[in-house]
Amino acid sequence: MKEIFETLVSSFIKDKVGIAENFLSAALSENLKSNLLKLFANHKLHFAGTGNETPEVRNELVRGDSIYWLDRSHNDPFENSFFDLMDSFVIYLNNSCYTGITGYEFHYTLYEKDSFYKKHFDQFQNNDSRKYSMIMYLNEDWEKKDGGELCIHHKDRLQHIAPESGKTVFFKSSELLHEVLKTTTQRMSITGWLKVG
């Protein structure tokens, strides 16, 4: 895994957006996708809100995804394998880059056909604990016509990233404005943040 961690971090240092293939193994990716689809079929996902107020504010003009938070208390073997992987990555980051990460939060994300997420930053205005954003895609056989690209707004250009299974994206939560373009089919991922404090 160290080689994949290094690929993710070195590409981030080079271009502010780290990209690595196979951060999740094919088997783990498939099992997490199965979990997500079972949760969706059993109506366990809920519409995502905007901001960090309680209760959450839902705005379908801004975002249309549904989510389900991962937690070790679920005692799901595949979620726990995912958390073990993230623990290893945090140790790698803290030891090699002195990032000071102390925790993380992740959720399953599902966009249904014709949904999207308008331009936004991942760090809340009133809470700067989210330091790095990570997205791990679970979409097999993704094609250009399926839409749903992650569009990152660099100062001098737009970067489009296809949400292909096995691909992981990593960037600073406070720095890059980004959006999810309209998808023409179901789009699935695990999305989350590495945190301090």
Q: What is the pLDDT of residues 65-103, one digit of tens each?
A: 999 999 999 999 999 999 999 999 999 999 999 999 999
Domain 2-50+63-195: give its CATH code.
Answer: 2.60.120.620
pTM for the complete prediction?
0.92
Question: 136-149: per-residue pLDDT in tens?
Answer: 999 999 999 999 99
What average pLDDT score do residues 176-194 get?
A: 97
Q: Which residue has the higher pLDDT, 118 or 123?
A: 118
Calpha distance 146→155 (Å, rounded): 27
Report whether pLDDT(50) > 70.
Answer: no
pLDDT confidence bin for 30, thresholds 50/70/90: very high
Are the CB atoms for 17 and 176 separated by under 8 Å?
A: yes
Q: Is 50 helix (H, G, I), strand (E, B) or coil?
A: strand
What is the pLDDT confidence band of residue 52, given thresholds at 50, 70 and 90? low
Task: Return d(Cα 16, Cα 92) in angstroms, integer.
Answer: 18
* Backbone phi, psi, residue 109, to 5°: -130, 130
How much is the pLDDT for 54?
A: 54
Domain boundaries, the chain: 2-50+63-195
